[in-house]
Amino acid sequence: MTITKLHPAIDNGFAATDENFQGGTLHCQCKENKVAVKLTAQTAHNHACGCSKCWKPEGAIFSQVAVIPRGNVEVIANAEKLVVIDETATIKRHACKECGTHMYGRIDNEGHPFFGLDFVHTELSADKGWSAPQFAAFVSSIIETGTDPKDMDAIRARFVELGLPTYDCLSPALMDAIAAHIAAQNK
């Protein structure tokens, strides 16, 4: 039986969240003079993402991304190597201009439901204890980047085997948070 490969950090299962974990350091994939980003808190809402914008390591069809309060994110080495991939995007993805690794994504629009949270890829850290993946989002979007639609049943089944529910948007809790934010703005 062939096992569908999704992302190297989740394909063989993953460690549970360490509730006492207080952060660590992300590094880009350059051989030397790596960009380093220090995270001083635990991440939340870690998930596999199939959107076409998120950074994926080589061979992965999904990214793995979590959020952290932006005040807990600090570039501590080689900041001059960072560039914003797309200035017009809602999430400004700051990537190493040499290796292409996305180090963090930031939302500048104060009216956005996720303003104040930065998006990070915890697999870029050697530190152990990060929040475990909880779900897979935007699963159908991988078709837009070349996945054969006939493979989707096997992909969803693999996520189920790993204990990760699949959605073609964000998780219900995050969708509820977005709707509540919009409702509050409309009052």
d(CA 96, CA 100): 5
Report in angstroms the alpha-carbon separations of 70 from 34, 74, 75, 130, 186. 21, 8, 11, 16, 25
The response to whether 99 counts as a known ligand-binding position is: yes
DSSP state of 2: P
The response to whether 54 counts as a known ligand-binding position is: yes
The response to whether 49 counts as a known ligand-binding position is: yes
The response to whether 51 counts as a known ligand-binding position is: yes
Q: How many Cα atoms are found within 13 Å in the side-chain-facing hemisphere of 55?
A: 27
178 within 8 A of 147, measured Cβ to Cβ: no
- Supply the residues annotated as catalytic: 49, 51, 54
4 within 8 A of 151, measured Cβ to Cβ: yes
The response to whether 169 counts as a known ligand-binding position is: no
DSSP state of 3: P
Indicate the annotated binding residues for Zn(2+).
28, 30, 49, 51, 54, 96, 99
Indicate the annotated binding residues.
28, 30, 49, 51, 54, 96, 99
